[in-house]
Structure 1
């Protein structure tokens, strides 16, 4: 199938051609016709499947032809994303695909000055990409009106809920017209996602390009059992032995990311860390250097890595397994994208065996185990006593990308939602 078969106009087809694409991905082939028909869509799509174009292209097409029902035109399309990096990435897609169209667009997120964003919105924009916190901040300062929105996209809805944005999302939904067309994209489905979809979507069409909560077939997964105290040593060994480049490494905490980055630098491996305590400028530079191969390893926390979009990223390493199995699917989904092959390795110590079991149950497969000579596990080491994790799911609390994790009581969740604004 070609993009020319999907009912897209010449200016959009020309922009697609400029990006070097000729054939739509499965999610694009399914989503574009449905969106063009005006239907609400609930899409299960992992990162790297081309889902951004799956909603951007048909929205642009509809905006070209849809008659304006409202007298006062302001923002016509709102795309809500969980993190700064993802917002920037989605907005770049909007810019690329609308280059031959007369539409204006903007991206707004926290971590940078609000006044330039207010100035950008002063005359209104057709398409707005935003994170929830900064969006509500601008609305609160009367810099934005959502009463004319015709298209609403909630991207990576599962991560939105993970980051405690549910209350912010509900506030935004109350400000939107009832007759809008709504699209919800999520890499994983849960009862919470279903409940959110029921409140947002009108008789939606369900699209799934892969089975729920599964990893891509293009990703080779492997586990190396290793003692906790030798993980850094083994990681350095693997990187140097196989001369890896563009290695994305996940840690559970910001502090852990910093310590690992320092160790890699001492070992002569150029590395940078990306997490919520880094300024937006530092995060943008680290990601740009990583994409340009100026650094060999990017060490990231889960939420900060959201939005990293590198088509041919070859290696993802779980330096520490996530304690939420769905996060494993999100992590390794950064490789094996767009039909390319990728490798996902996990360095697992005795404390993480339960996490590994939960992951294998979720993805419904046993991950291959390989012992590295010289790094055999010491059988006398016993698991450390478990620490209570609370509701923030072990992400190091507020700051890993602009949101604050959920806590167990409702009041804390409401506070988290308020505190996250301006940081996302």
Structure 2
């Protein structure tokens, strides 16, 4: 079995990996590193959790640290594009010890936070920019970032970039990088939008496919619980109160907020993650889930990609997703890096046909259990352990009120808020009646040690 040293990484990088408990490369790293370290363009395909983050960070760090190119103001030497702020932040967290060991500087660039600190860092000079396309394009247009000196470009989660409609700004940014710079593209699938990028920007790429998104995960168990609508939330709360960490997916932002509040009112510590939150609130809530303050994260599909937290062994689809790719991406938050995991889909009568199609297209054969009421022995089988309703969190994540026109002479009636964070009515639509419970698993590269909560890597 190859080691990181065998693959040709610098001693400082190998030592830093070992100090962080990362001792053996994953298959996608073993497959791609020889070519990426040699300067070849690489197209890496692998499911979420397969080790893609280090597969591109390691060659970026190794090649930049070996390069004699000086660091210059506003002209980064490497560009890593990611579809979400959370993913960009977690790539930076994985990069930080490697950059420190090799003397490299980096900056994360995304919206939702102040632009000036990013501009200041760019002006001081950085080697690596980790960015979401929109904010980086703003810096390029304003003259604060010049991509003409980029030696290595990485596109992470390229298929998700396409799904989110980011291809136009991605293309405009890539057009500003040198045509002969090295390009590494990593994706779970190679749909039409990704293929356009490959054809336009990669030169004679080496293709490595390891654990594609459709590959079965032998360590992942799928359940569908056919429940009464009236008992849906009670089933969810039972799972949520089991030991460990759980991610629950709701279809809408309002549904996620309602579920999180209902769980807290039931005594299950939960936080929400969706697009209506400010970046500070998103970071704070994800941190609470990572450090164990909250055992449940209730999220919309914003968290289906790019959220890597250790010790998640239960994912609950409180609302079944609309299409199978979303099911696979959501489910990929557990059973990461070869660890065990369980996925539960809550289904009511009018969702039976849709869920049947969904699981068939996703290539999974779930165990289906139908029952009435809020209890069934299968709940203990899915999430073993004593249920704990020790007390919910006081959720305080106020957002700026929406600007709505008021008719002259009319007063807006003030809204009442429960100071405890509990919801009076629970979510909206189907989201108001479902949620999940806790678990274990690993977020990313296998580490030796206690396996405490952290944002993981890929």
TM range (shorter): 0.7 to 0.9
Mark the runs of 5 or more structure 1 residues left unpaired by the alignment: 377-398, 400-424
Q: TM-score normalized by structure 1?
A: 0.84
Partner of 1:46: 47
Equivalent-residue separation in structure 1 for 2:284 and 2:70 (angstroms)? 43
- Is the Cα–Cα contact under 8 Å of residues 215 and 333 in structure 1 kept in the other structure? no
SS of the equivalent of 2:88 reads: helix
> Where in structure 2 are there 5+ consecutive unaligned residues?
376-398, 400-458
> How does 1:233-244 map onto structure 2 within 5 Å?
233-240=234-241, 243-244=242-243
Report the counterpart of residue 146 of structure 1 in structure 2: 147
1:27 counterpart = 2:28: yes
1:114 corresponds to 2:115: yes
Q: What residue is the counterpart of 2:258 in the other structure?
A: 259
Matches within 5 A, 1:388-399: none
Counterpart Cα distance in 2 of 1:294 and 1:101: 34
Contact 1:326 1:359 in 2 (8 A): no
**Residue deviations 1:179-201, cap 9 Å, x none?**
01111111122122222211121
Is residue 332 of structure 2 the alignment partner of residue 333 of structure 1? yes
Q: Which stretch shows the higher mean deviation, 200-209 or 142-151?
A: 200-209
Matched residue, 1:284: 283
Matched residue SS, 1:164: coil
Distance 2:187 2:353 in 1: 26
Partner of 1:185: 186
Q: Distance in 2 between matches of 1:190 and 1:228?
A: 36
CA RMSD of aligned residues (A): 2.2
Q: Deviations over 1:53-106 (max 9, x none)?
A: 111111211112235499999211100000110000001111122221121111
Aligned-pair distance for 1:371?
Answer: 2.9
Contact kept, 8 Å, 1:81 with 1:129, in 2: the verdict is yes
Q: Give 1:364 shift.
A: 2.5
TM-score, normalization: structure 2?
0.78
C-alpha deviation, 1:350, in angstroms: 3.0
**In 2, distance between residues paired with 1:210 and 1:87?**
23
Structure 2 residue aligned with 1:353: 352
CA deviations 1:288-319 (Å, max 9, x no partner) are 11111111211001124532112321111111
Give how far 1:220 is off: 1.2
- 1:416 matched to which residue of 2? none
1:234 Cα deviation from its structure 2 partner? 1.3
SS of residue matched to 1:5: coil
The answer on whether the counterparts of 1:247 and 1:298 sit within 8 Å (CA) in structure 2 is: yes
Task: Say whether the 8 Å CA contact 1:274–1:305 is kept in structure 2.
Answer: no
Larger Cα Rg: Structure 1 or Structure 2? 2
Task: Tell me which moved more, 125-134 or 206-215.
Answer: 206-215
Write out per-residue CA displacement over residues 179-229 of structure 1, whole angstroms, 9 at most, x where no aligned residue. Answer: 011111111221222222111211111111113433522211111112344
Aligned counterparts of 1:71 and 1:256: Cα–Cα separation in 2: 47
> Is the Cα–Cα contact under 8 Å of residues 247 and 313 in structure 1 kept in the other structure?
yes
Aligned length: 376
C-alpha distance in 1 between matches for 2:33 and 2:10: 13
- TM-superposed deviation, 1:321: 1.2
In the TM superposition, residue 355 of structure 1 has moved relative to its aligned partner by: 3.4
CA distance in 2, matches of 1:248, 1:168: 31
Alpha carbons 1:257, 1:273 under 8 Å: kept:
yes
Partner residue, 2:369: 370
Looking at structure 2, the residues matched to 375 and 117 of structure 1 have their Cα atoms a distance apart, in angstroms, of 50
